A = this chain, B = another copy of it.
């Protein structure tokens, strides 16, 4: 038994599919007694038959598909996506009556024209949110151009058609505020993963730049500590925290540096947040209670909303270049 259609309902009730369509979509409201009764009957038969409108037929009629692809790489170095980011995008799209389709691309398939991912060769989505940080395959940009696919970038700092986090300004401002609040010895800790090839992506360079600018502007000396992950981070941090002039505020860009920082602090008897305040920048953590941390966090919802808003505009006017939207971090 296959899927039931307007036709099936119409046959049972003894009307045409047109009437059924109108009743079910609410295009008009029946007012006469006879029509009312018939409308009720139509709705009932629809339920009995388990009718659901076929979105493909509807989409074809309307020319609007109602689907947006979230395009990313299978390579986590190129595209990362936290659950909360996905969630925020999903919700922002829902507000625009759009569905979210996941498209994780194997970058190898972007090397030749022969085996391209379907999302790029088929007309199945109205637009794309593209979550490539770096090493963007040239073919990807080329296909978007060629097919004039409305696209918005969500992890690149570009002039146009993008949203990104305003690390530099947000961190500069946050650090300046802390200086005003009395902190003088403020350090920043970075993780240096042996396997991790450092890049010049703005999400790595801008936070540091913002911190250093704030310190220098206040006549203070920036202190950046690169802890070598899984090597001797504890001794490095212990050294930092037992120094005579130990910092009173520690900025950490990465939630994974928190464990060594907290362990070291606990070990040497430095109390968080009484003796040492910690400012976590970026993704949250349930590792330690929020009250113990200053958390300068991503505003996922605002980024998602901005991205979707841009994309909707872009879909309306695909040719137009839209000014990018930097999103401040927030407390």
Assess whether B102 is in contact with A90, with CB atoms less than 8 Å apart: yes
Number of A residues near B (Cβ < 8 Å) is: 51
User: Are A122 and B60 in touch, CB under 8 angstroms?
Assistant: no
Question: Does A226 interact with chain B (Cβ within 8 Å)?
Answer: no
Checking B86, B123, B262 against A3 with a beta-carbon cut-off of 8 angstroms, the contacting residue is B123
Copies of this chain, tallied across the complex: 2
Interface of A is mostly: mixed
CB contact under 8 A between A286 and B90, given known A50-B147, A53-B123, A102-B100? no
Q: Using a CB–CB distance below 8 Å, which chain A residues touch chain B?
A: 1-3, 47, 50, 52-57, 59-60, 63, 65, 67, 74, 81-83, 86-87, 90-91, 99-104, 118-124, 146-148, 230, 256, 259, 262-263, 266-267, 286-289
Can you give 8 contacting A-B residue pairs, CB < 8 Å? A2-B63, A52-B123, A90-B104, A99-B119, A101-B101, A101-B102, A259-B259, A263-B263
Known contacts A102-B102, A263-B263; can you find 13 more A-B pairs with CB under 8 A?
A: A50-B146, A52-B121, A52-B147, A54-B60, A56-B124, A60-B60, A74-B87, A90-B104, A99-B101, A100-B101, A256-B287, A259-B259, A262-B263
